[in-house]
A and B are shown apart, each in its own frame.
Chain A
Amino acid sequence: MIEVRDLVKHYRTRGRGTVHALDGVSFSVGRGETLGLVGESGCGKSTAARLLVQLERPTSGQILLDGRDLLAGGHRSRSGRGRRRSRTIQLVFQDPYASLDPRQRVGDALGEVLTVHRLVSDAAGRRRRIGELLEMVGLPAGTADRYPHQLSGGQRQRIGIARALAVEPAVLVLDEALSALDVSVRAEVMNLLARLRRELGLTYIFISHDLGMVRHIADRIAVMYLGQVVEIGSWDTVSDAPAHPYTAALNSAVPVADPVVEAARPALTVRGEVPDAARPPGGCRFHPRCPLAQPICSSVNPALEPFGPAGTGHRVSCHVVESAQRPASDLLLAHRQEHSGE
Chain B
Amino acid sequence: MSAVLQVSGLRTAVATADGPLEIVRGVDLAVEAGETLAVVGESGSGKSFTALSIAGLLPAGATVTAGSIRIDGQETADLPEPARRRIRGAQIGMVYQDPMTSLNPMMRIGPQVREALTVHGWTAAEATRRTMEVLDEVGLPTPGAMARLYPHQLSGGMRQRVLIAIALAPRPKVLIADEPTTALDVTIQQQILQLVGGLRDEYGLAVVWITHDLGVVARIARQVSVMYAGRIVEQASVLDLFGAPTHPYSAALVASVPPMRGTDRGDLPQIGGSAVPLADLPIGCPFRERCPQSIEICAEREPDLLPRNGSHAACWVEPGDWT
Contacts and interface: CB of A to CB of B under 8 A. Distances in A.
A342 interface: no
A257 B239 contact: no
Interface string A181-193: 0111111101100
Contacts of B261: 240, 256, 258, 261
Nearest to B224: A259
Nearest to A274: B185
A217 B185 contact: no
Contact of B258 (A212, A240, A260, A261): A212
Interface in B169-205: 185-191, 193-194
A273 B242 contact: no
A258 B258 CA distance: 11
Contact of A254 (B157, B215, B217, B239): B215
Contacts of A183: 42, 212-214, 253, 256-257
A41 B239 CA distance: 32
Given A40-B187, A182-B43, A273-B157, A257 B270 contact: no
A32 to B, nearest CB: 15
A237 B98 CA distance: 35
A40 B191 contact: no
- Name, among A187, A188, A209, the residue most crowded by chain B CB atoms within 10 Å (CB to CB): A187
Contact of B260 (A152, A182, A215): A215
Given A187-B268, A212-B257, A262 B190 contact: no
B306 to A, nearest CB: 24
B315 interface: no
Contacts of A254: 186, 215, 260
Interface string B246-284: 000000111011111101010111111010000000000
Nearest to A219: B265
A183 B242 CA distance: 15
Nearest to B215: A255
A256 B187 contact: no
B242 A257 contact: yes
A267 interface: yes
Nearest to A254: B186
22 contacts: A153-B43, A183-B42, A184-B42, A185-B274, A187-B257, A187-B269, A188-B272, A212-B260, A239-B260, A250-B187, A254-B260, A255-B189, A256-B215, A258-B259, A259-B238, A259-B243, A261-B218, A262-B215, A269-B190, A269-B194, A273-B155, A273-B156
